[in-house]
Amino acid sequence: MASTPPEAPPEAPPEVRPETRPGPRAEACAVFGIALIAYLVIARWAIVDHNLVMGDAISRLGNATYALDSRYAHLSAIGFVWGPIPTLTMLPTMAVGLVPHTSWFVPSVSSCVFMAASVAVVNGIGRGWGLTRAWRLATTLFFATNPMIVFYAVNGMSEAYFILFLLLAANRLSAWIVDDRSGDLALAGLWLGFGYLVRYEALAAAGAAAGMVALVGGWHTWMEHADERDLRERGKHVSGRVGLDVAVLVMPVVTAVAAFALVSWIVTGQAFAQFSSTYGNSSVIQATAPAATGLSALRFSIGELAGAGPLALPLVCLAALWLDKERRSRALGLVGVFGGVLALTALLQVTGKTLPFLRFWIAAIPLEVLLLGLLAAQWAQRPRRAHRLQSLRAVAAVGGLVALVAATFSITWSAMTNTIYGVQEHQIATVVEPWRDRFDERQTLAQFTAERRLAAYLDALRLPAGSVLVDVLDGFPVVAASRDPRQFVIPSDFDFAQALSDPVHYGVRYLLTVPDAGRGANDALNMAFPGVYDNGLPGSRLLLQVDSGDLFPDWRLYRLASSR
Amino acid sequence: MTGEAPEAAQDRPAPTEEEQRWLDEAVNGLRRERPDMSSSVVLTTRQRYGLIVVLVVLIPLALAFRNDTAVVLLAGLNVAYAIVVAYRVFLVTRVLRPSPPESGMRAGMHHITDEEARAVPDEDLPIYTVLLPAYNEPGIMSRLVSGVGAMEYPRDKLDVQLLLEADDVTTVAAAEATGAAAFARVVLVPPAEPRTKPKACNYGLQQARGELTTIYDAEDRPDPLQLRRAVVAFGRVGEDVACLQARLSYHNADQNLLTKWFAIEYETWFGFLLPGLSSVGAPLPLGGTSNHLRTDVLRRLHGWDPFNVTEDADLGMRLARSGYHSEVLDSVTLEEANSDPINWARQRSRWNKGYLVTALVQLRHPVRLARELGAKALVSLILTVLATPVMSLLNPVAWLLSLGWWTGTMPFIASIFPGWLVYLSLLNLFVGNFANVYVDVVALRQLRRPGLLWACLAMPLYWVLMAVGTGKAFVQLITAPSYWEKTAHGLDAA
Chain A residues with CB-CB distance to B441 below 8 A: 244, 247-248, 251
Nearest-CA neighbor of A193 among A122, A118, A259, A113? Answer: A259
Beta strands at B325-335 and B221-222: parallel, antiparallel or unpaired = antiparallel
Express each pLDDT in B452-483 by its tens digit: 999 999 988 888 888 888 888 888 887 877 77
Asked if B237 lies within 8 A of A3 by C-beta distance, the reply is: yes
Q: Taking all residues of chain B, what is their mean pLDDT, rounded to a whole number? A: 86
Express each pLDDT in B296-331 by its tens digit: 999 999 999 998 889 999 999 999 999 999 999 999
Whole-angstrom Cα distance, residue A189 to residue B442? 11
Nearest-CA neighbor of B474 among B359, B323, B341? Answer: B359
Nearest CA in chain A to B233: A3
Whole-angstrom Cα distance, residue A467 to residue B251? 71
Chain B residues with CB-CB distance to A74 below 8 A: 419
Fill in the DSSP letter of residue A270. -
Whole-angstrom Cα distance, residue A336 to residue A249? 13
The contacts of residue B79 (CB under 8 Å, 6+ apart) are none
* B445 min Cα distance to partner chain A (Å): 5
- Give the pLDDT of residue A304: 92
Asked if B448 lies within 8 A of A241 by C-beta distance, the reply is: yes
Q: What CATH number does the domain containing B221 carry?
A: 3.90.550.10
From residue A412, how far is each of A119, A141, A228, A371, A400 by CA, in Å?
A: 19, 16, 53, 18, 18
- Please, which residues bridge with residue A489 across strands? A469
- Give the pLDDT of residue A6: 45
- Give the pLDDT of residue A29: 93
pLDDT mean for each 10 residues of chain A (564 residues)? 43 42 80 97 92 92 93 87 92 88 91 97 94 91 96 95 97 95 95 96 96 94 87 90 96 95 85 72 60 80 92 94 93 95 92 87 96 92 72 82 92 91 89 84 88 94 94 93 94 92 91 89 91 91 88 91 63
Nearest-CA neighbor of A128 among A379, A398, A370, A319? Answer: A370
Asked if A139 and A176 touch (Cβ cutoff 8 Å), the reply is no
- Give the pLDDT of residue A19: 47
Whole-angstrom Cα distance, residue B445 to residue A122? 29
Q: Does A255 touch chain B (CB under 8 A)?
A: yes
ipTM score of the complex? 0.88
Q: What percent of chain A has pLDDT over 90?
A: 63
Fill in the DSSP letter of residue B100. P
What is the full DSSP assignment across B159-182? EEEEEEETT-HHHHHHHHHTTGGG
Chain A residues with CB-CB distance to B292 below 8 A: none
Interface residue ranges in chain B relative to chain A, Cβ cutoff 8 Å: 93, 96-98, 102, 126, 211, 234-239, 406, 419, 423, 426, 430, 434, 437-438, 441-442, 444-446, 448, 450-451, 453
Whole-angstrom Cα distance, residue B45 to residue A419? 83
Asked if A485 and A94 touch (Cβ cutoff 8 Å), the reply is no
Nearest-CA neighbor of A153 among A345, A359, A369? Answer: A359
- Give the pLDDT of residue B248: 94
Nearest to B430 among A2, A183, A259 (CB): A259
Cα angle A172-A174-A175, degrees, rounded to a multiple of 5? 65
Q: What beta strand segments (E) does A93-232 contain?
A: none
Asked if A1 lies within 8 A of B446 by C-beta distance, the reply is: no
Chain B residues with CB-CB distance to A213 below 8 A: none
Nearest-CA neighbor of B291 among B273, B307, B308, B314? Answer: B314
Whole-angstrom Cα distance, residue A348 to residue A287? 17
Express each pLDDT in B325-348 by its tens digit: 999 999 999 998 888 888 888 888
Beta strands at B105-106 and B109-110: parallel, antiparallel or unpaired = antiparallel
Nearest CA in chain B to A249: B442
Asked if A248 lies within 8 A of B442 by C-beta distance, the reply is: yes
Chain A residues with CB-CB distance to B98 below 8 A: 181
Cis before A5? omega within 30: no
Nearest CA in chain A to B440: A248
- Give the pLDDT of residue A152: 96
Interface probe, candidates A1, A88, A263, chain B, greatest B C-beta count within 10 A: A1
Whole-angstrom Cα distance, residue B486 to residue B178? 23
Chain A residues with CB-CB distance to B235 below 8 A: 1, 3-4
Asked if A4 lies within 8 A of B235 by C-beta distance, the reply is: yes
Nearest CA in chain B to A240: B450
Beta strands at B212-215 and A468-469: parallel, antiparallel or unpaired = unpaired
Note down the domain range covering B349.
1-494
Asked if B445 lies within 8 A of A259 by C-beta distance, the reply is: no
Classify B328 as helix, strand or coil. Answer: strand
Chain A residues with CB-CB distance to B448 below 8 A: 241, 244
Nearest CA in chain A to B240: A3
Classify B109 as helix, strand or coil. Answer: strand
Classify A491 as helix, strand or coil. Answer: coil
Chain B residues with CB-CB distance to A255 below 8 A: 430, 434, 438
Asked if B234 lies within 8 A of A266 by C-beta distance, the reply is: no
- Give the pLDDT of residue A280: 65
Q: Does A74 touch chain B (CB under 8 A)?
A: yes
Calculate the CA dihedral of residues A449, A452, A458, A463 and round it to 10 degrees. Answer: 170
Asked if A83 and A200 touch (Cβ cutoff 8 Å), the reply is yes
Asked if B74 and A160 touch (Cβ cutoff 8 Å), the reply is no
What is the full DSSP assignment across B189-207? EPP-SS--HHHHHHHHHHT
Q: Does A3 touch chain B (CB under 8 A)?
A: yes
Whole-angstrom Cα distance, residue B358 to residue B360? 5
- Give the pLDDT of residue B92: 92
Nearest CA in chain A to B95: A183
* A245 min Cα distance to partner chain B (Å): 7
pTM for this entry: 0.90
B378-403 CB burial, b ≥16 within 10 A, e <16: bebbbbbbbbbbbbbbbbbebbebbe
Express each pLDDT in A69-118 by its tens digit: 999 888 888 888 889 999 999 999 998 888 888 889 999 999 999 999 99
Could you tell me how many CB contacts below 8 A there are between chain A and chain B? Answer: 62
Residue type at A447? Q
**B372-395: average pLDDT:** 87
Q: Report which secondary-structure segment, H or E, holds B350.
A: helix B341-362
| Burial classification of residue B96, based on how many CB atoms lie within 10 Å of its CB (0-12 exposed, 13-18 middle, 19 or more buried) | buried
**B116-130: average pLDDT:** 93
- Give the pLDDT of residue A265: 87
pLDDT value at B493 more than 70: no
Asked if B236 lies within 8 A of A183 by C-beta distance, the reply is: no
Express each pLDDT in A398-442 by its tens digit: 888 899 999 999 999 999 998 888 888 998 888 888 888 788 888
Q: Does A243 touch chain B (CB under 8 A)?
A: yes
Please count the structural domains in chain B: 1
Whole-angstrom Cα distance, residue A514 to residue A525? 9
